[in-house]
Amino acid sequence: MKPRLVYVNGRFVPYPSASVHVEDRGFQFGDSVYEVWAVMDGGLIDAAAHLRRLERSLGELRMTPPFTPAALDRVLREAVRRNRVREGLVYLQITRGAGPRDPLFPPHDRSATVVVIARGVDRAAVDARAEAGISVSSQPDQRWGRCDIKTTGLLANVLSKQAARAVGAAEAWLVDGEGRVTEGASSTAWILDPAGRLRTRALDAAILPGVTRARVMEIARREGLEVVEAAFTPEEALGAREAFNTSASGFVTPVVRVDGRPLGDGRPGPVALRLRALYLDHVRNTRPQIGVCAQEPGS
């Protein structure tokens, strides 16, 4: 769904005319970070955790945060409000600014470019996808060595996702040099192994520390499930009881085929569906308290 107003460098401008400078470093070098929040019932999900990850991404790239977390939180909420988003996503991008093309950091901490786009999503379609389950295709992980930073340098993710699409899969599972899945092109990958333990790769520089991953892990442990942070191969996934992906945009999405072969009976597993339901319950129950700033925008 098309946004109406987009935040660009301090102003809300109409979507069709929103633009940044041609020499923006995000455009020329991918010298930029981003974050994505889910919006449910008009509220931001896990706002504080995403803001913390954003601060970390900025810090790792030695970019000065252009706002305090509370001010940024207000801009995000204002973007949601002005676009009347009830169910959707908020995308934030911060670049190291614009200037004559030079890979070196600018001598002065010139002002960052900040863009916020809030848009509605068809949640019924997202739910239908989860109910049916998705296919994943394993693809070589060709990304750089700092995938723990949420940068817009996503070309390898784009190419992997496109390659997955070409073979009829909705997501790519990226596979490292040892044959183990790092993560999805835009999600965290999980299995329920034959012993009934949930498995997902341990956090390291090869994967993004998913906010949904942390939340689902907490929920699973509370439910008495054993969670093991250990990577798995696509072959192990095919021998698993269940598999699923997590992300802010898809929540918990069951995986029913890997590389064209059905996983189990080829239907979403009960544990994945239960974790999805529990995650959605958690989101609905905690939403009013979520956020780092209780103030209304402009107050």
Q: Is 211 in the site for ligand PLP (CB under 6 A)?
A: yes
Whichever of 99 and 278 has its CB closer to ligand PLP, that residue is 278
Asked if 2 is an active-site residue, the reply is no
Letters for 98-127 (x = contact with ligand PLP by CB under 6 A, - = none) are ------------------------------
Question: For residue 219, what are its two tokens?
Answer: 């929920």
Q: How far is CA 220 from CA 33, 126, 247, in A?
A: 30, 22, 16
Measured CA to CA, the distance from residue 96 to residue 121 in angstroms comes to 29
Rounded least distance, CB 281 to ligand PLP, Å: 17
Rounded least distance, CB 172 to ligand PLP, Å: 10
Check if the beta carbon of residue 254 is closer than 8 Å to that of residue 272.
Answer: yes
Q: Which of 25, 53, 150, 287 is catalytic?
A: 150
Q: Is 92 in the site for ligand PLP (CB under 6 A)?
A: no
Measured CA to CA, the distance from residue 224 to residue 94 in angstroms comes to 39
Check if the beta carbon of residue 112 is closer than 8 Å to that of residue 148.
Answer: no
Rounded least distance, CB 4 to ligand PLP, Å: 24
Binds ligand PLP (CB under 6 A): choice among 117, 191, 192, 208: 208
Q: How far is CA 32 from CA 112, 160, 211, 272, in A?
A: 9, 21, 19, 34
Rounded least distance, CB 212 to ligand PLP, Å: 3
CB neighbour class for 288 (10 Å; exposed up to 12, middle 13-18, buried from 19): exposed
41 torsion bin: left (phi>0), alpha (psi -120 to 50), beta (else):
left
Binds ligand PLP (CB under 6 A): choice among 113, 188, 200, 253: 188
Q: Is 213 in the site for ligand PLP (CB under 6 A)?
A: yes
Letters for 232-261 (x = contact with ligand PLP by CB under 6 A, - = none) are --------------xxx-------------
Measured CA to CA, the distance from residue 251 to residue 273 in angstroms comes to 11
Rounded least distance, CB 106 to ligand PLP, Å: 28
* Site for ligand PLP, rule CB under 6 A: 36, 183, 186-188, 208, 210-213, 246-248
Question: Catalytic residue positions?
Answer: 150
